[in-house]
Structure 1
Amino acid sequence: MLGLSIKEVSQALKEGRVSATELTRKCINQIKKTSYLNAFITVTEESAMEQAQRADKRLCTGKPLGPLDGVPFSVKDNFCTEYVRTTCASNMLKAFPLFWVRAGSTDGAFGPVRNPWGYASPYREQSLEDPDVDWVITGGSSGGSAAAVAALCSFLALGSDTGGSTRNPGSLCGLVALKPTYGLLSRHGLIPLVNSMDVPGIITRSVHDAAAVLRVLQGRDKKDSTTIQAPDTPPSLPELFDIRDLCIGIPKEYHAPGLSPDSLAQWSRAAAMFEQAGARVQEVSLPHTRYSIVCYHVLCCCEVASNMARFDGLEYGHRSAVDTSTDAINYEHYFKKAQQMRRLISEDFKTVFNSGVDVLLTPTTLSDAARFADFIQEDNRTRSAQEDVFTQPVNMAGLPAVTVPTALSSRGLPIGLQLIGQTLQDWKLLTIAHWMEQQLNFPMINFHTDSNERGEQRERTPTAA
């Protein structure tokens, strides 16, 4: 049951084949069984069961509130949640009952998050019950959200995406991760990092599921002045889609140093797949991409400093002995230049899309998931910046983007590719992503909950890079 899609489990709830209470209990048990992944900081077991009981009452009337009613989900711990602590995985906010800086989800105050694929891949011989194997990272910073969905602990998770923080772990954990158009989803309750780039992200196991969640959450919110009116969308994505009129752009600048042979092979494979199906595939140029990492980090540091000033150690957090009195001296000089470069990066995307390109196809990450032992040997900030090379330009332009799992690498770990769309064309983006997902037939994670549920897992043929 835990391996079903949101659409499938929602139908099972409506037909009475499973109750919301039973489903929630299964998820809680799975969280306990996979506690060594360290995906969760706080598990609201009592509250979840109470809400499940209320969902069952609604289901008994035959009038559930919507497609997600009764479906258990997870939330990244930087969303303020009523009567539940929100820590941002930091010592500073351990007691905040309602910060984060991205990396590979390895540096949190509550310990690193482990990638379920390090235990479940059919190409690896590690035991599910052995938490001390040579494990791999999830990517970050929404790594806990991704691990929860990949490990079948929940059917969807909300993350946050400032420079790739949902797409990066989505790719490394074999999941679909959507970064919507800036303003399409409310940021109310999301602890701000970089206001001009932050968006809530959606992590699911299929494109259809991501579309269902987007449809529920999108639109104006009077508590967030940056939200925009959602365009009209159909009830669900089309199962059949003719891509012969599409133009797929391949940015030449995304052939970045460090791109692994496995990732390059999947990028080339997907481009050929589109072309063979009748789409026009052409190389395009985003010339200011090479400056995007530096630009992003200047803007990020400036806005983070402004946002985090509220956590000054008076009411929350702790006092630091580090002298930061000179940090703001050059903010104006560098901030203005970075803003100018950000506009040029955004104009590059506009130029390409105005030329007739429908979506851009790129890698999501440089490679599959790194071994934790290798990751911590490097400078984490530098490594994280490198991993964001394909994702953070999208945030600076406010565009929608989605990562779709494509195949397993030679190491038996997931590789994802990114599709980038035009502003407010999230539904078109997901329609194309769904077509791509259908063609690729990515193997479902072999992460069975128990022997009684193995027959309910959808079988797929593993595809190696």
Structure 2
Amino acid sequence: MLRASLREISAALKEGQVSPVELCQKYLALIKATKFLNAYISVTEDIALKQAEASEKRYRKGQRLGDLDGIPVAVKDNFSTMGIETTCASNMLKGYIPPYNATVVQKLLDQGAILVGKTNLDEFAMGSGSTDGVFGPVKNPWSYSQQYREKCMRNSSTSNEELSWLITGGSSGGSAAAVSSFTCFAALGSDTGGSTRNPASLCGVVGLKPTYGLISRHGLIPLVNSMDVPGILTRCVDDSATMLGVLGGHDPKDSTTVQDPFHPFQIPNITDTSQLCIGIPKEYNAPGMSSETLAVWSKAAGLFEKAGAKVVEVSLPHTCYSIVCYHVLCAAEVASNMARFDGLEYGHRSSADKSTEALYAATRREGFNDVVRGRILSGNYFLLKQNYETYFIKAQKVRRLIVEDFAKVFSSGVDVLLTPTTLSSAVPYVEFIKEDNRTRSTQDDLFTQAANMAGLPAINVPAALSERSLPIGLQFIGRAFCELQLLTVAKWFEEQVQFPVIQLQDIMDQVDAVSQEEKSASFP
């Protein structure tokens, strides 16, 4: 029952095979049992049980609110939740309790979904590992997969570093780990440069970044307004479509949302792929990509070709400039967005009282970590009057060229692009932290951030297991507002590869094996 799809569990609830309260209790118990993963910042047990009781009453009366009624979900802790602390994994917002719900959160609640908790992330979503938040790093559930640990132990050259727990990717690592470890049926993430697809790939789940403007950003604490998109993490492509059907559409509170009506859809099953054209961007065969990822990518292209689809090599010539362009624009918007945290209106406030300027400086020094402060400083530098044309305006021009690259490819007849999602499978935490945050983000967002700059929909689909029995995901990028086509292709691919998801029992078998020190570890 815990491994069921959204459609399956919805039917089971409707038929009375399981009750919302019973389901909620099982998930809350599993969250406690896997606490050592550090996927959640806060577990909303009391609220969840009250919501489950209300859902159960509705089912008894035959008045359920929607397909998500009674289903446990989780929300990344940078979405505002009324009456529930929202921290962005930062000292700056510890203790902040929003007076309203983000639109996407409210839509879930309006459907009767059960909120079981707020998930962990990199501070203010700035990172690619979910290792830089003040509540400590998130651990990848696949670290405790029996297959992975057995293969490590059989390899005599395996070091203690390699056997240590693995990163989840970021910044939505908590949401990805929560879905992967079966502690919720679906979770909200956010995606600015790959923050949903990156952890989805490393944790072996589906991660969807919709078209910019299809889902409301109202209540999502902003990182980069022109690229932020609420993301969806699920265990199968059909579940992503179900969630998108609930969350999509115009929001009068967000002027960037699409004005045209959005109609939920079910993904059709396709048997004839002969009319499909899959593009393979040659620039995505980048240095640093593991041989395993390259092999999985090539095999996937061959799978489409064998099924009758047209597979063509395409060029996105400005890809080589996209990372630099992204980081200039990201830092500039971060500097602007973080200016609101001054210690006067909300959030942390320093005890410094010598002057207003001293209060600002002390508050921001105490409230932000080095990663956030570094991006603020870089952004302010790029926005200086003497630097504005050289950096910010030039980056905007390059962004336009990147958008035009995608437009040319899609106008040539290509339906969907097939690319890697990450350079490799998950790496051990001790190896990951050897690089600084900026360098890590540059490497890990290589294949994902261009879709954000172009505002295009993209999805990670688990494709295969590596030699170490760790997930390798592939990314599909579609035309703007063509989610139906994108998800149809993604579902066909998902059905062909039959990815062997982690076994729930594997995780539970490891609970007792994890040291008491690790399970109870607290982080500064």
Q: Same fold (TM over 0.5)?
A: yes
* Partners of 1:120 and 1:126 within 8 A in 2: no
Q: Which has the higher helix share?
A: 2
- Give 2:370's aligned residue: none
Does residue 1:286 correspond to 2:286, yes or no?
A: no
* Partners of 2:210 and 2:229 within 8 A in 1: yes
CA deviations on 1:206-247 (whole Å, 9 max, x unpaired) are 000000000111000111111114666564111334211010
Does residue 1:242 correspond to 2:272, yes or no?
A: yes
2:364 partner letter: R
Shift of 1:320: 1.9
Shift of 1:379: 2.0
SS at match of 1:404: strand
- Give 1:96's aligned residue: 96
Does residue 1:154 correspond to 2:196, yes or no?
A: no
* Partners of 2:198 and 2:421 within 8 A in 1: yes
Alpha-carbon spacing, 1:36–1:154, altered in 2? closer, same or farther (3 Å): same
Query: What fraction of aligned residue pairs are identical, expressed as a percent?
Result: 62
Does residue 1:75 correspond to 2:120, yes or no?
A: no
* Partners of 2:186 and 2:235 within 8 A in 1: yes
2:128 partner letter: A
Q: TM-score, normalised by structure 2?
A: 0.83
- Give 2:141's aligned residue: 116
Whole-angstrom CA distance in 2 between matches of 1:67 and 1:404:
23
- Give 1:423's aligned residue: 480
Whole-angstrom CA distance in 1 between matches of 2:132 and 2:409:
38
SS at match of 1:55: helix
- Give 2:462's aligned residue: 405
* Partners of 2:192 and 2:229 within 8 A in 1: yes
SS at match of 2:311: strand
CA deviations on 1:53-75 (whole Å, 9 max, x unpaired) are 11111111223211111110000
* Partners of 2:267 and 2:488 within 8 A in 1: yes
Shift of 1:183: 0.4
SS at match of 1:193: coil
Query: What are the within-5 Å matches in structure 2 for residues 18-417 of structure 1?
Result: 18-98=18-98, 99-125=124-150, 134-229=164-259, 233=263, 235-314=265-344, 315-317=346-348, 318-320=363-365, 327=381, 328-329=383-384, 330-417=387-474
Alpha-carbon spacing, 1:248–1:181, altered in 2? closer, same or farther (3 Å): same
Alpha-carbon spacing, 1:125–1:447, altered in 2? closer, same or farther (3 Å): farther
Shift of 1:126: 9.5
- Give 2:493's aligned residue: 436
1:374 partner letter: E
1:431 partner letter: T
Which stretch shifts more, 69-78 or 117-126?
A: 117-126
Shift of 1:287: 0.1
Shift of 1:113: 0.2
Whole-angstrom CA distance in 2 between matches of 1:34 and 1:69:
25
Whole-angstrom CA distance in 2 between matches of 1:380 and 1:282:
35
2:290 partner letter: S
2:274 partner letter: R
Whole-angstrom CA distance in 2 between matches of 1:94 and 1:238:
45
* Partners of 1:246 and 1:280 within 8 A in 2: yes
Which stretch shifts more, 266-275 or 93-102?
A: 93-102
Shift of 1:439: 0.1
Alpha-carbon spacing, 1:324–1:429, altered in 2? closer, same or farther (3 Å): closer
1:316 partner letter: G
Alpha-carbon spacing, 1:126–1:432, altered in 2? closer, same or farther (3 Å): same
Whole-angstrom CA distance in 2 between matches of 1:234 and 1:80:
25
1:411 partner letter: R
CA deviations on 1:380-439 (whole Å, 9 max, x unpaired) are 220121110000000000000000001110111000000000010011100110000000
2:76 partner letter: K
1:354 partner letter: S
Alpha-carbon spacing, 1:121–1:345, altered in 2? closer, same or farther (3 Å): farther
Whole-angstrom CA distance in 2 between matches of 1:357 and 1:259:
24
Alpha-carbon spacing, 1:230–1:431, altered in 2? closer, same or farther (3 Å): farther
Whole-angstrom CA distance in 2 between matches of 1:22 and 1:372:
36
2:92 partner letter: M
Whole-angstrom CA distance in 2 between matches of 1:409 and 1:121:
14
CA deviations on 1:273-307 (whole Å, 9 max, x unpaired) are 00000000000000000000000000000001000
SS at match of 1:316: coil
Shift of 1:100: 3.1
1:171 partner letter: S
Alpha-carbon spacing, 1:214–1:230, altered in 2? closer, same or farther (3 Å): farther
* Partners of 2:163 and 2:428 within 8 A in 1: no
Structure 2, unpaired ranges of 5+: 99-123, 153-161, 349-362, 367-372, 510-524
* Partners of 2:188 and 2:230 within 8 A in 1: yes
* Partners of 1:121 and 1:413 within 8 A in 2: no
SS at match of 1:405: strand
Whole-angstrom CA distance in 2 between matches of 1:198 and 1:236:
26
Shift of 1:40: 0.3
Whole-angstrom CA distance in 2 between matches of 1:211 and 1:241:
19
SS at match of 1:352: helix
* Partners of 2:204 and 2:471 within 8 A in 1: yes
